[in-house]
Structure 1
Amino acid sequence: MTMATTAMTKEQQILALLAKNPFLQQNEIAEQLGITRSSVANYIMNLSNKGKIRGKGYILAPHKRIVTIGGTNMDIAGTALTELRLQDSNLGKIKCSAGGVARNIAQNIAMLGQESHLISVVGDDPYGATLLETTRLAGVKIEQCYKLANQTTSTYLSLHNHSGEMVVAINDMDILQCLTPELLASRLDFIQHSDVLVLDCNLSETTLAWLFTHCGHLPIFVDPVSTFKAMKIKPYLHKIHTLKPNRMEAEILSGITIEQPEDLVKVANWFHSQGLQRLVMSLGADGVFYSEKGGFADTMAAFKTEIVNVTGAGDAMMAGLACCYLENRSFSASVRYAQACSAMALASVFTNNPNLSDDSVKQLLEN
């Protein structure tokens, strides 16, 4: 367990104790957690700086929660050690890890210190049990997830070249078709009382339409996932607060080809004319173009970082954007913070960087 992860766990444990008894003394907390009183004092100071604790008697700040709905996968990734040779056997490394766009976003949100809830489906099989336990241990609340009998947990198989770039992928995500409005109806009240709702386009068009209809009063953040899946949300752009497409997804949705910088503004204007509030478009090595309806548009350069693994960078960025919105940060500051989250994902061999935390992101921004 890393130092950042340990700190996050202790802070969560302290918040849980104070929720039961706001008048606990620091020495009592230290005794219950098996740490020193000075350590408790440091954790209390950090929680106060983050706005989690305020006032006398350790009054906890009102709970705000982010609910993420979408895909949960077992990711199996193969990476070639040398230049990839197609139609041949390649030396490389193969690893299995918890994945899925929505699940990854939810985990990153939890690691950044916000209350994160995931609503997804897994099968009643070993992969499903592993995914739920891994996600829970990462700090995500999984009580709203569904475990379905006689279903196979979603699996995502990807092949990467020696530079870490994905060459091709195959996904077996049929189980997500079971995440229907009829199934979600039992969670509707819970969803409607969230502070931010994050959706991925792995959800069916019918389910997305149902969520936009019943949760349109919420700030809804959407990850298009792919050019093909992005088209599901075209009729509902006016219901979306923040959309995070890449260049190709933005082109396919708007019908505008991006060939020069002026085209970025054209694309943004088209999205805003459809009712979209905020656009955050990933431009890869060229950074991020971001635009707000009735506001400003600008390009922000990418962080200089060694790219170890591109999988999960967009999920970390979305998590950063959602967390910053919850904390009422400015749009430009939110984008820069989200870029730092993405840079940390790029620099890790894991899809979700285990060192990600609000403190580690702020330290990267300061550096």
Structure 2
Amino acid sequence: MSLTDRERELLRLLREHPLATPEDLARLTGNTRAAVNVHLTRLREKGHILGRGYVLRPEGSVLVIGGANLDLKSRLHAPAVPGTSNPGTTTAAPGGVARNIAENLARLGVPTGLLSAIGHDDTGARLLDATRASGVDVSPIVRTDDPTGTYSAILDPHGELILAVASMRAVDALTPDVIRTRRALIDRASAVIVDCNVPQDTLLHAARTAQASHTPLYVEPVSVPKAARLRALLAEGLPVHAVTPNRDELAALTDRDTRTDDGLHAAVQDLHARGVRVVWVRLGEAGSLLSADGDARHHAATPTQVRDVTGAGDAMLAGYLYATLRGDDPHTAARAGHALAALTIQSDHTVRPDLTADLLDAHTQETA
């Protein structure tokens, strides 16, 4: 939920003077004690002050819930020939929608925790070590007897996706009970991102918990089949701050034909009518359509040389949230999202290992 200028000022003062009384705050702001108490009550209602006293939500922290897996990417040396073996090159690297988003955010300097599930196997150990080394807090992660998930992608010679297979059984270990035992992480977060790899009942419980904590909820549909899990959340009327589908996922969410511009805009309005504040539709090379609070605008894709499209959507959401947390409006934040997607697909890596906030900010300005 957005803050007024007065509420932002009070939060700043509370961070600087954690033992300040309402009388102190009234004096520092030139306001009455009664007015200060009203603002403090609203800050508690919005989840920025936790419990009794002035226990503040950590500034700018994010919890990402969902898939973590090993990415196996096979890039063909020539156009695909069905029904036979094709020469190419295969690489293995850490991946998973939630994990990729978390690593992008951590490399941008955002305090980020990852709640996922991985197996008690060598792949899981490798995934855990690599994610921790990138700066992500991996302490919330659940270990399971199921094998660590894998994402196997076939790319054409230009790096465009031909086909992918996701084996994500491990994420079924993310049950509602896991969310309950980690509720404090949602309470303390400035934003929660959930990808639709998680079971539907877990998605629902995470949404209810975020609602109770007044924590903005971002949902990444992941794929057309998994987008169906979001429909139950919307049907229940739970608040969703932002949803980030592509055209096909948007069609699956709304039962509309989104292949035309009229159908696309009508589907976006359907989601707004169901309580989604921000709808950001990825349109591939055509850029994106972002609609926030009734203000819908098309954003062109940032020009770049494509090396590998894997992870571009995850980077877009991470760049957007990074910019939002520093105070950018949704459409300015969208430009940061597109810039990070461009930086990602011009690299062979799912998440750029050289990513920094300075790199993203410079690229966003260069391509504005």
Confirm or deny a common fold (TM above 0.5).
yes
Tell me how far 1:356 sits from its aligned partner.
2.0
- Which residue number in structure 2 is paired with residue 147 of structure 1? 143
What amino acid maps onto 2:216 in structure 1?
P
Amino acid at match of 2:62: I
Cα deviation digits, residues 54-75 of structure 1 (max 9, x gap): xxxxxxx964310000000011
Alignment of 1:18-167 (within 5 A): 63-148=59-144, 150-167=145-162
Query: Is the contact made by 1:107 and 1:135 (CA closer than 8 Å) also made in structure 2?
Result: yes
Amino acid at match of 2:344: A
**2:289 corresponds to which letter in structure 1?**
F
- Aligned residue in 2 for 1:306: 305
1:162-206 alpha-carbon deviations (Å, 9 max, x no partner): 121222222221111111012232211222221100000000001
Q: Which amino acid is 1:171 matched to? A: A
Q: Which moved more, 1:64-73 or 1:356-365?
A: 356-365
> Shift in Å at residue 264 of structure 1?
2.8
Q: What do the CA deviations read for 1:2-43 (whole angstroms, capped 9, x no partner)?
A: xxxxxxxxxxxxxxxxxxxxxxxxxxxxxxxxxxxxxxxxxx
Give the TM-score taking structure 1 as reference length. Answer: 0.80
- 3-state SS, counterpart of residue 215 of structure 1: helix
- How far apart in 2 are the matches of 1:287 and 1:214? 33
1:220–1:240 Cα contact (<8 Å) kept? yes
Query: What count of residue pairs does the alignment treat as equivalent?
Result: 305
CA distance in 2 between counterparts of 1:224 and 1:62 reads: 27
Deviations 1:72-91 (A, max 9, x none): 00111111011111111211
Distance in 1 between residues matched to 2:114 and 2:167, nearest whole Å: 20
* Stretches of 4+ aligned residues off by more than 6 angstroms: none
Instruction: Tell me the secondary structure at the aligned position of residue 351 of structure 1.
Output: coil
1:194 and 2:189 aligned: yes
What is residue 174 of structure 1 aligned with on the other side?
A: 169
TM-score by length of 2: 0.80
Q: Distance in 2 between matches of 1:353 and 1:173?
A: 23
1:213 aligns with 2:208: yes
Distance 2:138 2:58 in 1: 21
The match for 1:255 is: 255
Q: In structure 1, how many angstroms separate the alpha carbons of the residues matched to 2:259 and 2:179?
A: 41
CA distance in 2 between partners of 1:62 and 1:240 (Å): 21
**How much has 1:353 moved relative to structure 2?**
1.4
Q: RMSD across aligned C-alpha pairs, in angstroms?
A: 1.5
Tell me if the contact between 1:221 and 1:322 (Cα under 8 Å) persists in the aligned partners: no
Give me the identity figure in percent: 31
Aligned to 1:333: 332
Distance in 2 (CA, whole Å) between partners of 1:309 and 1:286 is 17
SS in 1 for 2:327: coil
What is aligned with 1:271? 271
In structure 2, the CA distance between the partners of 1:177 and 1:163, relative to structure 1 (3 Å rule), is same
- 1:224 matched residue in structure 2: 221
The match for 2:24 is none
Q: CA deviation at 1:346?
A: 1.1
SS in 1 for 2:154: strand
Equivalents in 2 of 1:62, 1:190: separation in Å?
10
Structure 1 unaligned regions, length at least 5: 1-60
The amino acid of 2:106's aligned partner reads: A
